[in-house]
Amino acid sequence: MLFSIIVLFDVIRLSFQIVYSCNLKATCGCSSNSVSMNRIVGGEDASEATWGWAVSLAINTGLLCTGSILSSSWIITAAHCVEDHSASEFTVYAGSTFLCSGTQNRSVSLIVAHSNYDPITYSNDVALLQLSSPLMMDDSNVSPICLPSVHSSVLASSEFPTSGTTVIAIGWGRLSEYGQVAKYLQQVTLTTVDYRSYTCNSLISDQKVQLCAGVPGGGKG
């Protein structure tokens, strides 16, 4: 399952929650409604009309994945989601936080997986899906995600994002190990961890294309 990680909003801090809001005139990374993050271990259901770039991907085999809208015609997802599958097997659901539902749905005409994807280390675990017809981007429930612009010199000397950064992971993942897949889009606050730490160094094979995030003691992901 691909999860999206974002740090794109202005923050309003309350005693029991954090509300993320942004300029609705922004060209990317902004949803119709503000996002309210409560302090719930393991994550929580996302509210309607938030995370407008999140899409659920249904595969004919019964597998499910999460993707993000790059543009009206392209979805970004994980390479492990498309491995051994053809484009005709996918249906993309956009505009809803409910699994396999949306204000719009599209078939897929082309899959472009990263040529250096490693299924053992999950390095370069990214793929693009070209939609058979463009999404209607005037739909208030649909919006494109923003992609960070990171210069190669930054990645050559350090990691991005830097450790200790607060990020949010979203997706229709399993609610517990080997448990049921969530029906509603899940959101959870995490903190990035230095790839050299003992909790991450065995998981990260290339810090230029992978990052590690979690909370002390685990319980989120």
Kindly tell me if the per-residue pLDDT of 10 is higher than 60: no
Regarding the domain with residue range 54-131, which homologous superfamily does it belong to in the CATH classification?
Trypsin-like serine proteases (2.40.10.10)
So what's the pLDDT on residue 15?
A: 44
So what's the pLDDT on residue 16?
A: 63
So what's the pLDDT on residue 148?
A: 85
pLDDT band at 141 (very low <50, low <70, confident <90, very high): very high
H or E element at residue 82: helix 79-82
How far from 221 is each of 13, 53, 119, 191, 213, CA to CA, in Å?
A: 23, 19, 20, 11, 8
Kindly tell me if the per-residue pLDDT of 218 is higher than 80: no
How confident is the model over 64-80, as pLDDT tens digits?
899 999 999 999 999 99
List beta partners, residue 21.
10
Check: CB of residue 184 under 8 Å from CB of residue 98.
yes
Structure pTM?
A: 0.86
pLDDT band at 3 (very low <50, low <70, confident <90, very high): very low
For the chain, the domains span 54-131
Closest to 8 in 3D by CA, of 93, 73, 68 = 68
**Best-predicted range by mean pLDDT (10-14, 28-32, 89-93):** 89-93
So what's the pLDDT on residue 183?
A: 92
Check: CB of residue 145 under 8 Å from CB of residue 171.
no
